[in-house]
């Protein structure tokens, strides 16, 4: 644990180079938080930091870092300390998905997905709990409505998000006595760079999931509001809430073929 006595509290946002992560950084900055943005693509982070500074907010600290690299968690802690920052809010947004049958997708890529979506998120959360407890802050873990259901054609990704939601809900209970809020943001489909990385067809997504689409900036705002309100799980969009409710009530024997067919339309 770092000494937070002389450090400035900050919102640390991973995966902030685009999409929901970038929007979350904008929202935290708009709400008056000092922000540290983390991702592999330093040029995009710098552009985002310049944009936020141009709006009259404090310029975010840019931390170019691959969270899959050896020692990445301690590297991040050291970079924050160098900037005289301590995490008050940790936003674990970094992650990716891969669409296709698990047996046919590249094994190393699927394991890397687990490492980023699950291991890195867990390691960051555990590493910074002492600082978050001292600052009475919070954790936002970004999952997906995928966390509520099995996902044939997206099996490993759905499983990682199920872990994220389960982990988040459990530690929200554990950390409540310490004054630390934990919220799991579970968006439905959002048009970002996620689709291209996952190998998904944009046309297929628009055809099958258009009613559930929520803009990234709205997802970020609802996520922020939910975290500050102490809401354990945040599902943006009425259609997505309905999908989650339906998934919870539907027998797996019915849900599996429905989801499998839907995923193939998105490939």
Q: Distances from the Cα of 205 to the Cαs of 118, 190, 194, 195, 210, in angstroms?
A: 25, 10, 12, 9, 7
Residue 8 parent element (H or E): strand 8-14
Q: 174: which 2 tokens? A: 């554990």
Query: Among 89, 157, 158, 224, which one carries the catalytic annotation?
Result: 157
Indicate if 157 belongs to the active site: yes
Cα of 116 vs its chain's centroid, Å: 11
- Smallest Cα–Cα separation from 256: which of 120, 114, 149, 97? 149
| Token pair 């989801």: residue | 259
Strands of the sheet with 35-39, listed across from one edge: 61-64, 35-39, 8-14, 85-92, 138-142, 181-185, 233-234
Sort 239 into a burial class: Cβ within 10 Å, 0-12 / 13-18 / 19+.
Answer: middle
Structure token digits, residue 200: 């998904």
DSSP string spanning 98-125?
Answer: --S-TTTS-HHHHHHHHIIIIIIHHHHH
* CB of 201 closer than 8 Å to CB of 167: no
Which residues are catalytically annotated? 157
């Amino acid at each position: 644990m770092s000494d937070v006595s002389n450090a400035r509290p900050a919102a640390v946002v991973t995966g902030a180079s685009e999409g929901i992560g970038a929007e979350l950084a904008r929202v935290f900055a708009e709400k008056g938080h000092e922000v540290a943005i983390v991702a592999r693509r330093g040029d995009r982070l710098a552009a985002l930091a310049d944009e936020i500074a141009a709006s009259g907010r404090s310029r975010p600290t840019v931390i170019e870092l691959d969270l899959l690299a050896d020692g990445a968690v301690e590297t991040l802690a050291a970079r924050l300390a160098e900037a005289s920052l301590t995490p008050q809010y940790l936003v674990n947004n970094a992650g990716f998905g891969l669409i296709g049958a698990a047996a046919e997708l590249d094994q190393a890529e699927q394991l890397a997905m687990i490492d980023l979506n699950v291991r890195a998120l867990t390691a960051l959360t555990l590493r910074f709990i002492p600082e978050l407890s001292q600052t009475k802050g919070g954790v936002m873990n970004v999952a997906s409505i995928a966390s509520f259901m099995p996902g044939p054609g997206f099996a490993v990704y759905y499983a990682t998000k199920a872990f994220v939601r389960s982990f988040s809900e459990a530690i929200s209970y554990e950390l409540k006595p310490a004054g630390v809020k934990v919220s799991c943001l579970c968006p439905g489909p959002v048009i970002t760079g996620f689709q291209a990385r996952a190998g998904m067809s944009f046309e297929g997504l628009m055809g099958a999931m258009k009613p559930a689409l929520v803009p990234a900036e709205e997802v970020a705002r609802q996520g922020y509001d939910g975290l500050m309100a102490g809401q354990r799980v945040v599902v943006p969009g009425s259609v997505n809430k309905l999908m989650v409710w339906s998934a919870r009530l539907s027998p797996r024997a019915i849900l599996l073929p429905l989801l499998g067919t839907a995923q193939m339309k998105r490939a």
